[in-house]
A and B are shown apart, each in its own frame.
Chain A
Amino acid sequence: TIPASSGNKAGSVTLEEEQRVRSELRERFLRTLLAMTSKPVHFSLYEKVQVQAKFGASDIDILNFQVSDLQTPLGVQKEALLRCQDMISFSFQL
């Protein structure tokens, strides 16, 4: 997790501006996750592993994703948690 601003050396106006930008960017990201709910998502993991699953939810720090019907080379896992540290990217269609 990336820490919030380390201080307001440059004054409260700058800090306020930083907070405003931060909240705008975050809102857009949360809307992305919301749009992804219940959709099939394709995950690219390290070592060229590709898996697909239905996205359920994420924790606030984007550390874990809860997914359903995870399709792995060893079969389908009904429910699973994916560690975001293991992912390089993921994609879905709108």
Chain B
Amino acid sequence: MGDWCRVMPQDWNKYVNHEVRVSAQDKQQYEGWVFTVDPVSASVVLVAFQESGGASVRVVLGHAVREVQVLREADGDTEKKLRSLLTPAGCQVFSD
């Protein structure tokens, strides 16, 4: 998917909070929940929650992304967990 860098932000947004498998240029595959896709570099931020309570974050650079496959749809709990993981406490949402 050499076109990953050229899609509209709305298309990247469709992957946010979903569990995906990203195939990268080195034939590596990475799985995790999508926290975001950087609209400048098209890099995908994947989060994998660990049993210990921590999380491992992997960023696949946009230029190296070949394919993104959705494994599981977003759910409310994961969405909340993702948001609280990287958004500072006390951060207010002013618009939807």
Contact = CB atoms under 8 A, between A and B. Distances in A.
Contacts of A28: 35-36, 45, 86
Contacts, number: 105
Contact of B60 (A18, A25, A85, A88): A88
Interface residues of B, number: 37
Contact of A32 (B12, B13, B36): B36
B41 interface: yes
Contact of A85 (B16, B43, B63): B63
Interface residues of A, number: 31
B39 A2 contact: yes
Interface of B (DSSP majority class): mixed
B85 A48 contact: no
Given A29-B38, A29-B39, A94-B56, 11 more contacts: A31-B87, A32-B45, A35-B86, A60-B40, A84-B41, A88-B24, A88-B60, A90-B58, A91-B56, A92-B57, A93-B56
Interface of B: 5-6, 8-10, 12-13, 16, 24-26, 28, 30, 35-43, 45, 54-64, 85-87
B61 A89 contact: yes
* Majority secondary structure of chain A interface residues (helix, strand, loop or mixed): helix
A85 B63 CA distance: 8
A12 interface: no
Interface of A: 1-2, 17-18, 21-22, 24-26, 28-29, 31-32, 35-36, 44, 46, 48, 60-62, 84-85, 87-94
